Amino acid sequence: MNSKRNVIVALIIAVSLSLSCDFTIAQPVTTASVSFDGERAYDRLLDQVGYGPRLPDSEATSKTRELILKTLSSAGFSTGTQDFRAASPLYGREFAGQNLYGVYPAGSKVKYLLSAHYDCRPRADNDPDPASRSLPVPGANDGASGVAILLELARNVPSLRLSHGVALAFFDLEDHGIT
């Protein structure tokens, strides 16, 4: 029952963040002020995959959390975490999870909210090769790619000189449902 309450609390926080955002149409940003580097984003993807599958309680998950928070802080974002517990039907038990977020500039009213999840699916249960179905998914396309793009975007946010704040959220234990 405790995990159900935590899921409800997480949903309330997500809805609250969404409701606090001002979702008006933004003015286009000229590309002259943005230097999105696809190679750097790809390197962040390789970092995550190189840590190994981002499974609950793993070193790979800890290293990915460190990468996210360090990159956000280096870009000038204020950072925070949301600890929670949630059931994982794939493991048949509950785990501690940690959502991460960054806001730029600190204390600003958030107008833009972008998110990705950083965890991996613990089993490749839909793999065409039955022998691989018990192995974890590396999570390059699903998980690491979204995180890598947001981290590279974070590096560019200060140069955009936006009139409102930007929040980036990184969710844990998203990939533990039943397909």
DSSP string, 42-99: HHHHHHHHHH----TT-HHHHHHHHHHHHHHHHTT-EEEEEEEEEEETTTTEEEEEEE
Domain annotation covers residue 28: no
pLDDT at 126: 87
Total of domains in the chain:
1
pLDDT tens-place string over residues 19-54: 444 444 344 445 556 789 999 999 999 999 999 999
Shortest CA distance to 68 belongs to which of 84, 85, 51, 56?
51
Q: In CATH, what number is assigned to the domain containing residue 108? A: 3.40.630.10
The per-residue pLDDT of the chain, averaged, comes to 85
Domain annotation covers residue 176: no
pLDDT at 82: 98
Domain annotation covers residue 108: yes
Angle between helices 38-51 and 145-160 in degrees, nearest 10: 140
Domain annotation covers residue 65: yes
Question: Residue 62's domain spans which residues?
Answer: 2-22+34-171
Domain annotation covers residue 124: yes
| C-beta separation of 129 from 44 below 8 A | no
Which pair of structure tokens corresponds to residue 47? 């970092």
Domain annotation covers residue 179: no
Determine if the peptide bond prior to 105 is cis (ω within 30°).
yes
Domain annotation covers residue 47: yes
Domain annotation covers residue 110: yes
pLDDT tens-place string over residues 87-124: 988 888 999 999 999 999 998 999 999 999 999 999 99
pLDDT at 89: 85
